[in-house]
Amino acid sequence: MKRLLLLSFLIVMVSPALASAGEDGVKILNERCAYCHDLKGPAPQTIRQLWKRDAPDLFYAGDKYRREWLVAWMQKPVRVRPAGVNYLRAINSTPTHLKKTKKGRKYDVLWGKYLKPLQHEELSQPEAEAVADVLMGLTQHYDLTASEHFDASKKVTLDQGELLIDKVYGCESCHQIEPGYGGYTGSELYTAGKRLQPEFMLSYIRRPKNWDPKIWMPNLHVKPADLQKIVNYLILLSKEDYNASH
């Protein structure tokens, strides 16, 4: 009953804003997705709410994702968070279990060897297109991305980028920059450039808590010039083909 009430509430909330974006997408989202994914915000405001979240928030999907990635992912879903959304349940960060990276930093490991493979609904191509249209219209955090300007001329090599991510800022203690290489708390960064809009990456890395007030990612006070280099690096990194070379 509670769930039904919540669903009807969401249908009322989401429909007016999205009326022009295509009936099917709205219907699919409300009926098949909204009971797991938050489509209206705000992000969890307390630790308690954060640990109740079992699926990524989608209410600012249009400020965050690249449409092509969404369309492809929804037809063939794969895990992008090696320890799942609720990473605290899956990772072991007790000091004796920490692994060392090449440069001597330590990162978390999973309690078990692997999480279960992701069980996620697969959409047909027309469904994925319709849903992506609606998701790309969810732009509650446009205020945060509108002020960001990505500078594609601040190119780096893979080695220079890895140095920034690993040695200078220690992002690798929580994020993988290659399958199996890096920590498990955050999402995989080797696909970030394909998944995420550059302006979102700039804004999120600059101040993660603007997006998600209780998230574990700290503000690492990345220098503006390094921020542009890191995002250029993540885009370059996402062009590597891991199936072929690893």
Q: Is 217 an interacting residue with respect to ligand HEC (CB under 6 A)?
A: yes
Cβ neighbours of 18 (radius 10 Å): 19
DSSP state of 44: P
Q: Is 197 an interacting residue with respect to ligand HEC (CB under 6 A)?
A: no
Nearest distance from residue 106's CB to ligand HEC, in Å?
12
Nearest distance from residue 212's CB to ligand HEC, in Å?
6
Task: Cite the beta strand spans of the chain per DSSP E.
Answer: 91-92, 99-100, 106-107, 109-110, 176-178, 181-182
Cβ neighbours of 190 (radius 10 Å): 18
Binding-residue total with ligand HEC (CB under 6 A): 42
Nearest distance from residue 8's CB to ligand HEC, in Å?
17
Q: Is 106 an interacting residue with respect to ligand HEC (CB under 6 A)?
A: no
100 in Cβ contact with 106 (< 8 Å)? yes
Rounded Cα gap, residues 221 and 203, in angstroms: 12
Is residue 100 helix, strand or coil?
Answer: strand
Residues facing residue 182 across a β-bridge = 176
Nearest distance from residue 131's CB to ligand HEC, in Å?
5
Nearest distance from residue 154's CB to ligand HEC, in Å?
14
Q: How far, in whole angstroms, is CA 103 from its chain's centroid?
A: 26
Structure tokens at 101: 């990276």
Q: Site map for ligand HEC, 112-141, x if CB under 6 A?
A: ------x-xx-x-------x----------
Residues in region 70-99 near ligand HEC by CB under 6 A: 70, 73-74, 79-81, 84-85
The residues of the shown chain that bind ligand HEC, judged by CB under 6 A, are: 28, 32-33, 36-37, 54-56, 70, 73-74, 79-81, 84-85, 118, 120-121, 123, 131, 169-171, 173-175, 185-187, 192, 196, 201, 204-205, 215-218, 220, 222, 230
